[in-house]
Amino acid sequence: MAPRRIAAATAIAKSKRRKNRPRLIARYLFKSPPFQTPNQSGEGVHHDKRRRYIASLQVSEQAAYGQEHKTYVKQPKYYSPFKVLARNIARGVLLSLLVLAGVSCRSPGDLSASTTATPSALVTVVSQQEYHLHQQITLVNEGAGQPEKQNLWIALVRDLPPYQQVQSLDVFPQDYVLVTDEYGNQYAEFDFSDHPPQTTVTVQIDYQVAVNELTYDLSVCEGELPNEYNHPELNIESANPQIVDLARDLSRGKETVCRQVRAFYDYIGNELVYSYNKQNWGAQATLGLMGADCTEYTALLIALSRSQGVPARYFGGLLHPESETESLARLEHAWGDVYMPGIGWVSIDPTLGRSSIYRETYFAHHTPEHIIVTMGPNPSTLRGGNYWTHLYWPGDSTTIRVAGEWHIERVSEAEN
């Protein structure tokens, strides 16, 4: 009976030690910082600070624990060579199963890493155009106070093969955090909380970007479609009954996906009336008499395609048009691409293609005047904005005016 009483006394002592152990880590793991940036999709400044703070708490907790309790050294166990070999084999089998499970259980909603690409045999790089892009955003504190917190998020032009390659990137000031959203878009996040009254903060970003002109071979348009970019989302109302019925009517008699999408494209060019509205009303709004600009033209093409199970993506970017098409759209522009079976992602600009003169030019043809900045109609980091977004807190602490501008210069043109 004596050994049993000793064991019970030891368990009680261990329980008391656990109760007295510091609980700072658990408390701060689940406690929000004084100000949490609204961006929950990327790595922000406060997320990084919280990790460093938790790491420091772990060190301080170990020091406190060592001062209050005795340190016990656990003697290593001896395993026979056969047992070690068997355990290593079991671990290898388990790791293989986990890797296979991770590949097969990839969520269709993870849009940042597309599993599909345009097969190189069916896409031709006709030419390449290089640009120098300069973006400048100015923040002017016009009030008498200073915000407690102020953040600016700017979408960064990134590599997106086969469309474009970023050859150089220069961001000033360099004190920023790189954030990635659910579409794979990247942002420079700035913390300008220390912004005195009656002062100006300027952000400048310079790029060297090469944009490819692409043509596609649509002669073979058959095969399976990937299970991605085919769901409804804000302003892409592909499940709306009107959209579904319209897509079904337009698809009647079209044997291939390529002909279906071409019917959608022609309908948009023939029926929509272009009107620059500075808004993003979405696909459903185009069925009324509100007018539409590039955002609605693109949203309707994507919604019609997705309603029939055809993957389609939305791009927001910059347009550096030729002189003949300069009147058809503005510098800040939207277009899309659609996945054609057996071919891959095919670029389409329904806004520039609304004119019968250029109808063929902008279907299944990525012209080098299109520079992609973001993917997705409403990236969460931008909170409804285009290309950048700005927040400061509290709102009545001061008045901050923000202005942004782009400058595009064509550098060279290299024919293949």
pLDDT digits 0-9 by tens, 145-168: 999 999 999 999 999 999 999 999
CB 225 within 8 A of CB 183: no
- Give the mean model confidence (pLDDT) for residues 37-48: 37
Res 408 pLDDT > 70: yes
Of 316, 376, 378, the closest CA to residue 112 belongs to: 376
- Give the mean model confidence (pLDDT) for residues 236-250: 97
pLDDT in tens, 248-262: 999 999 999 999 999
Q: Which of 114-128, 184-198, 303-317, 348-362 shows the lowest mean pLDDT across its residues?
A: 114-128
CB 140 within 8 A of CB 400: yes
d(C-alpha 211, C-alpha 167), whole Å: 10
Q: Determine phi and psi for 274, rounding to 5 degrees.
A: -75, 130
Maximum pairwise Cα distance, the chain: 99
- Give the mean model confidence (pLDDT) for residues 27-47: 34
Res 13 pLDDT > 50: no
- Classified by CATH at the fold level, domain 116-416 comes out as C8orf32 fold (3.10.620)
Lookup result for tokens 């520079």: 371
pLDDT at 117: 56
d(C-alpha 178, C-alpha 230), whole Å: 28
Question: At a CB cut-off of 8 Å and minimum separation 6, what does 362 contact?
Answer: 348, 349, 350, 352, 353
- DSSP 3-state assignment of 165? strand
Q: Which of 155-169, 289-303, 341-355 shows the lowest mean pLDDT across its residues?
A: 289-303
Name the DSSP letter for residue 223.
Answer: S
Q: Residue 315's pLDDT band (boundaries 50, 70, 90)?
A: very high
Name the DSSP letter for residue 292.
Answer: B
pLDDT at 329: 73
How much is the CA Rg of the chain, to the nearest whole Å? 28
pLDDT at 112: 53
Tally of CA atoms within 13 A in the half-sphere of 71 that contains its CB: 7
| Average of per-residue pLDDT values in the chain | 78
Res 28 pLDDT > 80: no
In the chain, the amino acid numbered 44 is G
pLDDT at 287: 86
Res 29 pLDDT > 70: no
Tally of CA atoms within 13 A in the half-sphere of 303 that contains its CB: 30
pLDDT at 94: 52
pLDDT in tens, 373-406: 999 999 999 998 889 999 999 988 899 999 999 9
* The token pair that represents 177 in the structure block: 């955090």
Q: Residue 289's pLDDT band (boundaries 50, 70, 90)?
A: confident
pLDDT in tens, 175-184: 999 999 999 9
For the ranges 68-77, 104-113, 226-235, the one whose mean pLDDT is highest: 226-235
The pTM of the whole model exceeds 0.75:
no
